[in-house]
Each structure stands twice: as structure tokens, then as C-alpha cells.
Amino acid sequence: MKRKRALSLALAGLMAFSLAACGSGKENNGDTGNDAGADDVVELRWLNKCESDAEAEIWQQLADLVTEKYPNIKVTIENTDWTSYWSKLPVELASGNAPDLLYMHFSRASDYKDSMLPLKTYIDEDSEINMDDFYEGILECFTFDDEVYSLPYDFGPYIMYYNKDLFDQYGVEYPDSETDWDEFISICQQLSVDGNYGTVLCSSCDYYMPQVLSLGGEIINEDGIFDITGDKTVSALQQIADLINDGYAPRITDTANTVWNWEQFEAGNIGMLIDGPWTVTNVTNYCDFNVGYTTIPAGTQKVTTINGSAIAGSKETEHPEEVYKALSVLTGPEAQQILAENGRALPSRESVRSYYYEAMSEQDGLQEAIEESLEFGIPYHVTTNFSEVSTILNSGMDVVFAGEATAEETVQDIQDQVDAILQ
């Protein structure tokens, strides 16, 4: 029912008087985060790296945790795959459309530190956060000149997954921590029949870098020096490429897809795959067969690489305090427990790491493979501008993996392109 203007004004005046009289009452306690009304909600945009629908559901649970603790903060996730993420992020940062929250990988952290929100001041004022709970080796990857730029949620070594059902079908003995490169090749030979393959590769260097090291090569040393031309490195790269050339691994048909290897493994006709503990969620959600785990086969040495991921805030965010609050939840114990129980992450926090092993206890050999690998694992060394460097390396090796050239014919061109960037 419409009311006359005079009556409306009178009522408005009476309401204003009543509110003023109650100014010291509870209803006016508007500076408390949990009492904020709808108009006070801060929306944070999170640009995230995500590879599957099952994983997306896990990340949404973490975003919901933020709102549960801070009702005035809403986190909206924009998920994209690995390759698209590293194309999209620099464009958004340069265009002034920076997300409030962003995924960060240890290998890219040094390249993006000027775009990330420094966190040390917020950490120092946060009486609830326990920084000693984080695995020191991965936290250091996101710390530069004593300033923390990201909070890690996972870490781990590259290990070997294997399809137990396929091994059983052909009566092949499972690989274990004593399996060496020659035995690995023998297993590949035995399994590469009837349209099956012993192993699978991927265009991303992350997956084959541990094998290069185990075969005595080294592409990037601990000082960040890139040299792909050494004899042992060239030999290692060719031996890895020959897994495809000899028919022990399928040709890579989608080089832009950095989870192409997982898509093949999930189909059930691949014997072995190398990846970290953060992708066990793929096994639990997409594999219709039994999977076992062990360490990467030794070549001239027993070695693997260790890396991890984090979440950061944008330096350009208009809501730095809310961003830090969100980060503290997204990388906090409860969030990492969710990641652990879903097999999405080996928690960077020691206090909740046991949840991962408990939830994944039926995954045969997983805990043993991880813990043994951590004993001989080394940090995954990277260069500056690693995003560009890895793109050059991946593109160059795609030619070798396709059988269009040998490693010896290709490495100098890769080296020259990398040198042009780094110099």
C-alpha cells in the first residue's frame, strides 16, 4: 500500500531518532567481521590451477571454509588447467585485472614475487598461525630476502604409480624400491603388448626431469644454471625418448595437454607413470583398477625431485587484510586436512600430514614410496624466467619425443634459445 509523503518523512525521522538514541547498543557494532551485513561482503576472486571436476569440488570446499570463518568474505574460484593458467595469469596482472588470490608453483615464485602481496607483516601480527608447522624446504621456495610471498599447501617427491591389474594380467613382477633402469626397461617390454604400453610420457619436463637425474644427467643445477648439452644429459634424454621410439610408451598426441599422460593411464592400458602424491585423487576418482606405488627406478643414481604449490595474494588487491584472512584459512590445518583426505595433497603442514596417509592407507605402497623418496630426493632446481625456459625446453623435446630428431640434434638449439632469454 502506498503511503503519503508526509507520513513517510515522519516515520523516517522517528527511525533516525530511535537509531541515534540506541547508538551504543549491540546493533551498531558494525566493525566486527562476523556481524557484517550483505552490503559489507568482500568478494575475492581466486584464479586457480585445477585439472578435473573432482579436484574442483575439493577447492570449492576450501573456499566455503573461508566464508564459514569469515562470513563477510566470499571467495569465487576461477579454475583453469596448468598450461592455460600460466598464459592467463601474466595477461591479467599486466592488464590491471589481477585476481585477489592466485595459485603459485614453487618453480614460478621468483618470477612473480613482485606481483604477490608480501605477507610477513600479517604473519607477525597473527597470533594463531604456526609457521613452524610448514615443511621448511617448501616454505623457503616462497620466501625471498626474508619476506614470505605465498603460503604452501602441499609438497612432495615424484614417485612411480603402476597398474597392478595390468601387471597381474601378464604375470609381470611388480616394481619396487630396488628396481633399476634396466629392469624398468624389461618390464616395459613385457607389458607393451596387445595395445598396452609399459609407461607413458608427457610434454611437461616436470615428469621426466627425475629420470634425467637418475640417468646421470642434469639440465638445471642448484645455482639455476641451464645446460642441456652435456653428454650424460643428452644420453639421458635420448633414452627417455626411446621409450616412445621403441614402442614402450605411446606417442604424445596432445602436447598442449599437460595431463595427457594421466588420461592415458586412467584408460587402463599403461603400466607405469611418474608423478607426485598430489594426484592420488586421480586414482581414487578415475581409475577402475588397482594401483601400486614405489620409488622411481635408479639409473646411475637413486634420486628424485621434490616440489610443491602454494596460494598467494595479489599485490594489487583492494582487500589485503581479507586476502590474508582467506590465505590463512585456505592453507590452514582444516583446509589441508580436506586436501589430504581426498588425496589431493601431501600437506605442507606436519600436524595434518597423517590424515593423508590414513585416508590413502589402501593405496598399496604409497606411504613407503613417499617417505623413502624424501630421503634421497633433492629440490627441483629452476632458472629465472622459468615459465619461458620450460616452454622452450618442452617444445624442443616434443620434436625428439615425436621421433623427428634426436636429442643430440636438438639440444644446442634449445640451449641457444634459453641463453637468449637468460642473458
The x, y and z cell numbers of residue 172, run together, are 609381470
The confidence band for 255, taking pLDDT boundaries of 50, 70 and 90, is: very high
Q: Who's near 167: CB < 8 A, 6+ residues apart?
A: 173, 174, 191, 271
Is pLDDT of 35 > 60? no
Distance CA 129, CA 141 (A): 19
pLDDT digits (tens, 9 = 90+) for 327-343: 999 999 999 999 999 99
- Residue located via cell numbers 606405488: 293
Taking CA atoms, 282 is separated from 54, 159, 268, 333, in Å, by 8, 15, 13, 23
Domain ranges of the chain: 39-156+308-359, 159-275+383-422
**What pLDDT score was predicted for residue 18?**
38
Strands 101-105, 42-49: pairing is: parallel
Query: If you average pLDDT over residues 184-190, what whole number do you get?
Result: 98
CATH code 3.40.190.10 for 39-156+308-359? yes
pLDDT digits (tens, 9 = 90+) for 151-170: 999 999 999 999 999 999 99
The x, y and z cell numbers of residue 378, run together, are 633433492
Is pLDDT of 85 > 60? yes
The confidence band for 2, taking pLDDT boundaries of 50, 70 and 90, is: very low
Cβ(254)–Cβ(199) below 8 Å: no
Query: If you average pLDDT over residues 123-129, what whole number do you get?
Result: 97
Question: Where is pLDDT greater, at 177 or 37?
Answer: 177
Task: Give backbone dihedrals phi and psi of 160, rounded to 5 degrees, phi first.
Answer: -115, 130
Query: If you average pLDDT over residues 238-265, what whole number do you get?
Result: 96
CATH homologous superfamily, domain 159-275+383-422? Periplasmic binding protein-like II (3.40.190.10)
Query: If you average pLDDT over residues 245-262, what whole number do you get?
Result: 95
The percent of residues in the chain predicted with pLDDT above 90, rounded, is 89
Q: Who's near 387: CB < 8 A, 6+ residues apart?
A: 86, 108, 111
**What pLDDT score was predicted for residue 242?**
98
The x, y and z cell numbers of residue 202, run together, are 608427457
Question: CA end-to-end span of the chain, whole Å?
Answer: 75
Distance CA 268, CA 277 (A): 19
pLDDT digits (tens, 9 = 90+) for 214-226: 999 999 999 999 9
The confidence band for 39, taking pLDDT boundaries of 50, 70 and 90, is: low
Mean pLDDT of the chain: 91
**What pLDDT score was predicted for residue 221?**
96
**What pLDDT score was predicted for residue 43?**
98
The percent of residues in the chain predicted with pLDDT above 70, rounded, is 91
